[in-house]
Amino acid sequence: MKEVILCKYGEVILKGANRSDFEAKMLKQLRQRARRIGNYNVFYSQSTVYIEPLDDESIDRIDDMVYQAKHVFGFVGVSRAFACKKDMNEILEVIKNHLPERLKGYKTFKAEAKRSDKKFPMKSPDIAAEVGGAILASVPKIKVDIHNPDVIVRVEIRDKEAFIHAGQEKGAGGIPYGCSGRGLLLLSGGIDSPVAGYMMAKRGVQLEAIHFESFPYTSERAKEKVLDLAKILTNYTMRLRVHVVSLTKIQELLRDNCEEEYFTLLLRRYMMAISLKLAHKYDCEAIITGESLGQVASQTMKAINVTNSMSDIPIFRPLIGMDKEEIIQISRKIGAFETSVLPYEDCCTVFTPRHPRTRPELDKVIEQENKLDFNALVEEAFETKETIVVKCFGDNKIEM
């Protein structure tokens, strides 16, 4: 008997001729994580990836490896399982000797069996019945509930071995990170943008990130908060480059030269122009924002159109139809919420107009924009760029 981790595919199983490409990315990402935890053999068979500890230290850290596997996009379920020979007596011995510890705290269970190897002499219902009887005999006070059990005990008879596991933890889902091109995420210190980044990463988009600061109006701690949010995203992406750009001069010039009600719209256009320049530099095929329709004045349909006109690549807004509570639920799920609500300002809170335009006309926005040398200011701001590489494992580093 040995212990392994089983990672079950999600929608990847439905892919056609390019399925092997998806599998290769998932396997590569798992192996990268496994090397940081211990000594594991990672391989796949029959639409399942197996993670097998190869020494005692790796067995001791198997919970850490489960955590890592749960953050690899493409897997919908992750389980710690006991592996043994395809022999019913051995399966029952594992259940009697090792499963009671796993079932502590559960009041009800259901036994299920899946027989991939049709040469195995017992059929799935008969296997499940034997397993259920062994559990009832080995675990005090536990009862069977086939409709709403606290835990499901599964026995899988596969090509080479049998696997027994109690409870399956939810995986990250989605499709493998990096299989859908590159996108540039506008990462602020708020709730929305980390969620937007997570949602696009879940659809396979490899992320770059840009953050706009306005020092000294925004603090160094506000910048550190954004890097903390980037670190949370690296639970899923492994690493993330965050390009920090100063908007201080642009904001001061807008304040001094343009009508206040257009300030936010003009600032958004500058941000989009700088982001587009960075997207082209790093071969990003789309820009990603955390905008939700109608949430603030700059996120009305007309205001969004004013921003859209700056870009020659798609702008993805995965939160566009979500309300704040839905966004907060995802933020909590990925562990970003407590950091996002820390009270440190970002550039969008600097010189906020008292009565911003919600139904702007593009020609009037451009009229205000022409009061300054737009292209020169974009170039000057771009030159302030500082790139910080944030990693899931290890410390951040500045990249020149």
Same domain, 165 and 194: no
Same domain, 321 and 349: yes
Contact 207, 201 (CB under 8 A): yes
322 falls within a domain? yes
282 falls within a domain? yes
- Looking at residue 96, its pLDDT comes to 95
Kindly report the backbone phi and psi dihedral angles of residue 155, in degrees, each rounded to the nearest multiple of 5, phi listed first: -120, 125
- Name the band, by pLDDT with cuts 50, 70 and 90, for residue 237: very high
Same domain, 333 and 263: yes
Same domain, 313 and 211: yes
pLDDT tens digit sequence for 252-261: 999 999 988 8
34, pLDDT greater than 90: yes
Angstrom distance (rounded) from CA 313 to CA 282: 13
9: helix, coil or strand?
strand
Contacts (Cβ under 8 Å, ≥6 apart) of 282: 182, 184, 208, 241
Same domain, 295 and 395: yes
**Would you call 92 exposed, middle or buried from its count of C-beta atoms within 10 A (0-12, 13-18, 19+)?**
buried
- Looking at residue 89, its pLDDT comes to 95
Last residue of a domain, one of 113, 143, 170: 170
Token readout for 349 is 């809170």
397: helix, coil or strand?
strand
Percent over 90 (pLDDT), the chain = 79
- Looking at residue 349, its pLDDT comes to 67
Sign of CA dihedral 153, 158, 163, 168: negative
- Looking at residue 398, its pLDDT comes to 82
9 falls within a domain? yes
Angstrom distance (rounded) from CA 85 to CA 154: 15
- Looking at residue 1, its pLDDT comes to 77
394 DSSP 8-state letter: S
Sign of CA dihedral 144, 145, 150, 153: positive
In the block, which residue shows the tokens 């970002």?
346
- Looking at residue 217, its pLDDT comes to 86
163 falls within a domain? yes
Q: Which residue segment(s) compose the domain that 368 sits in? A: 182-399
- Looking at residue 399, its pLDDT comes to 74
177 falls within a domain? no
Last residue of a domain, one of 132, 149, 170: 170
Same domain, 152 and 195: no
Average pLDDT over residues 240-264: 93
Same domain, 147 and 187: no
**Residue 30 maps to which CATH number?**
3.30.2130.30
Angstrom distance (rounded) from CA 309 to CA 9: 40
- Looking at residue 366, its pLDDT comes to 92
The C-alpha angle 261, 263, 266, rounded to 5 degrees, equals 125
82 falls within a domain? yes
DSSP H or E run through 108: strand 108-115
- Looking at residue 348, its pLDDT comes to 67
Average pLDDT over residues 1-5: 91
Amino acid identity, position 223? K
- Looking at residue 345, its pLDDT comes to 72
CA Rg value for the chain: 26
Residues constituting the chain = 400
Same domain, 344 and 392: yes
pLDDT tens digit sequence for 36-63: 999 999 998 888 999 999 999 999 999 9
Chain CA centroid to CA 80, Å:
22
Question: How many domains does the chain fold into?
Answer: 2
Same domain, 32 and 156: yes
Sign of CA dihedral 268, 271, 277, 281: negative
176 falls within a domain? no
Angstrom distance (rounded) from CA 285 to CA 280: 8
Contact 272, 287 (CB under 8 A): yes
In 282-333, which residue ranges form alpha helices assigned H by DSSP?
Answer: 301-308, 324-333
pLDDT tens digit sequence for 319-377: 999 999 999 999 999 999 999 999 877 766 667 777 777 788 899 999 999 999 999 99
Contacts (Cβ under 8 Å, ≥6 apart) of 81: 3, 4, 5, 6, 156, 163, 164, 165
- Looking at residue 296, its pLDDT comes to 81
175 falls within a domain? no
Contacts (Cβ under 8 Å, ≥6 apart) of 136: 142, 144
Contact 81, 3 (CB under 8 A): yes
pLDDT tens digit sequence for 129-188: 999 999 999 999 999 999 999 999 999 999 889 999 999 999 999 999 999 999 999 999
Same domain, 186 and 37: no
Token readout for 61 is 């850290």
- Looking at residue 339, its pLDDT comes to 95
Same domain, 211 and 323: yes
pLDDT tens digit sequence for 290-323: 999 988 877 888 888 999 999 999 999 999 999 9
pLDDT tens digit sequence for 369-393: 999 999 999 999 999 999 999 999 8
Same domain, 163 and 300: no
66, pLDDT greater than 70: yes
Last residue of a domain, one of 114, 141, 170: 170
CB atoms within 10 A of CB 219: 14
Q: Tell me what the pLDDT averaged over the chain comes to.
A: 93
**Residue 244 maps to which CATH number?**
3.40.50.620
Half-sphere exposure of 323 (CA within 13 A, CB side): 1
Average pLDDT over residues 16-32: 92
